[in-house]
Amino acid sequence: MPPESGTAIAWSPPRPTGADHLTPDRLDPMTSTSSTTVAPTEPVVGDAAPDFTLRDQQGKRVSLSDYRGIKNVVLVFYPFAFSGICTGELCEIRDNLGDFESEDVQVLAVSCDHMFTQRAWSVAEGYFFPMLSDYWPHGAVAQAYGVFDRSGGFCTRGTFLIDRDGIVRWTMVNDTSQKREFDGYRAALRDLSDPVA
């Protein structure tokens, strides 16, 4: 029977019990890291890059270790899909893909957006490189790289060049409102490709 007009209804969400209770061992997580500890700061040049497995915009699992011994990786963390500065940065990567991706280098873009958001954005903008979702556990990979903004729940603008051995060779971390310049990355990649030059 519906309540009388003006009668307050108390409601509380149901508590998970028994089979309804979801635990990490019962989930197929979109994100996993190789370590349970979170780095307080980003890895520095010479550090081993934290390994991870994330889903790309098509739902495919992608691990940093997939490229070990095969390609260098440029890991580009960005705050939000469909936002102005992020769109500009990823369009620069798309439009100059030869500078970022080749038989020697793979670009991996990462944000805390959901996989379906990544997919919609990649279709809208024509991004055809892997866009990885660090959605759940929320921001775990960004935390491992020291580029997770806890107050807002998003990645800051971190860029990491990782060599074939999984070692960080160059980094740049910008404030959320500061567009990154990729000239330093290009120079670092040249040095990595031709260390005797």
| Residue 49: closest CA among 173, 188, 168 | 168
Q: Which two tokens stand for residue 141?
A: 């990979």
21: Cβ contacts below 8 Å, ≥ 6 apart = none
β-pairing, 157-162 with 72-77?
antiparallel
| Residue 113: closest CA among 131, 129, 126, 127 | 131
Active-site pick, 86, 91, 112, 155:
86
C-alpha to C-alpha distance for 81 and 9, rounded to whole angstroms: 39
Residue 147 near residue 158 (C-beta atoms within 8 A): yes
Catalytic-residue membership of 112: no
Residue 28 near residue 115 (C-beta atoms within 8 A): no
Which sequence positions are flagged as catalytic? 86
